[in-house]
Amino acid sequence: MQWLRTLLNTRLTNTDSGASAVIVALMMVPIMILAALAIDIGAMHADRQQLQTGADAGALAIAQDCAREDCETTAATAQTMAEVNLNSGEATGSISAFDPTAGEVTVETGTTREHWFAPIIGVNSTRLAAHSSARWGYPTGGTAVLPLTFSWCELEAQAGITVVRDETGAVTGVDIPESTPDETIYFTKASETECTGPSNNFLPGGFGWLTPSAQSCGKTDSIIDGWVGSDTGNNVPSICTDAEFQKWVGKTVLLPIFDEYTGTGSGGEYRVFGYGAFTLTEYYFAAQYRSSTPPCGGADRCIRGSFDRFVDLTEDFDYSPSGPRLGAAIVALTE
């Protein structure tokens, strides 16, 4: 080391530029280490983000499949979502927890990051992993955006879908085909089904309108087995404007479906059985409440569209895997 001391003394005595060259030479190893930290750790962070995206996508995709009663390809779905969301390298995707009865799944993704600079400090690669959990279920309560309700009997009679019953004959849900045509669904007064009595209404004075909140036509809260008040009369609730209905044309909304009713007039109530996913295409509620091509007219009231299989990511509804299956399902990440 005597030669280095002599060199330093000479360089520091004779010229500043010589001292700088020596200092740079001595700092090369720390600089390389910092490069390893900056570049390799940055690459690891990007991989972790992509693995997390793959885990989230896998958990949501599996939950959506299972909500549609198709849990046959869970492992393949986890692997596919891991692969397509990692930009470089090979990714693995697997199911680390799965409980279809509880409506829960956890997906884990992983990859090995080969480092560029870190080998100079003895680190050639790092194993990275991420995981995500999701739940699915069927709506049990929440906020409906349209103050309407139909009976499951009317759904079967007008929408052409099959009601599912258990061994006791009790209705447990409906069988929604993969694709359903648009149908015009009339309110009970004009529906001409055998679901109602001689008055053609379930409730005297009740035409299928629900009582919305005092603040908004688009907020009607309810829960399964809970009772919701009837807004009497053939016309829309007084708080509603046509704009409240226009904005839902072409969109899928969750409609409360009832199985029991009680009372009369303003004291009437409907008991919520479940929630159906309805894609609204047209409507007619009166001369000033109508879509551009109304499906009915005069004193009739109707909506047109289809009851569909629909998976919602909204937080407006509570859900449970044991809720009635009326085509609508809720899926959400839980972790």
CB 162 within 8 A of CB 174: yes
**Of 76, 93, 123, which marks where a domain is finished?**
123
Among candidate residues 45, 48, 51, 44, the one with its CA nearest the CA of residue 107: 51
**Mean pLDDT split into 10-residue runs, the chain, 335 residues:** 50 56 67 73 90 95 90 94 91 95 95 84 88 93 92 87 84 79 91 84 90 90 93 92 95 91 91 92 94 94 90 76 86 85
Residue 18 belongs to what H/E stretch?
helix 16-35
Give yes or no: residues 92 and 193 share one domain.
no
pLDDT at 177: 77
Range of the domain at 45: 2-123
**Of 94, 123, 152, which marks where a domain is finished?**
123
In a domain, 109, yes or no: yes
CA distances from 163 to 113, 144, 269 (A): 53, 22, 23
Give yes or no: residues 147 and 75 share one domain.
no
pLDDT at 155: 85
CB 295 within 8 A of CB 284: yes
In a domain, 115, yes or no: yes
pLDDT at 205: 87
Question: How far apart, in whole angstroms, are the C-alpha atoms of residue 236 and residue 286?
Answer: 8
What is the DSSP pairing of strand 328-333 with strand 310-312? parallel
Give yes or no: residues 70 and 173 share one domain.
no
Give yes or no: residues 176 and 38 share one domain.
no
pLDDT at 7: 44
Question: How far apart, in whole angstroms, are the C-alpha atoms of residue 269 and residue 231?
Answer: 9
pLDDT at 69: 84
pLDDT at 17: 57
35-56 pLDDT, tens digit each: 667 887 888 899 999 999 999 9
pLDDT at 8: 47
155-202 pLDDT, tens digit each: 889 987 888 888 888 888 888 777 788 999 999 888 888 888 777 889
Give yes or no: residues 145 and 242 share one domain.
yes
Residue partners of 304: CB distance under 8 A and separation at least 6: 182, 183, 184, 185, 280, 281, 282, 283, 295
Bridge partners of 266, per DSSP, are none
Give yes or no: residues 109 and 147 share one domain.
no
pLDDT at 257: 92
Residue 125 belongs to what H/E stretch?
strand 125-144
In a domain, 82, yes or no: yes
Give yes or no: residues 157 and 300 share one domain.
yes
Give yes or no: residues 118 and 193 share one domain.
no
Give yes or no: residues 168 and 283 share one domain.
yes
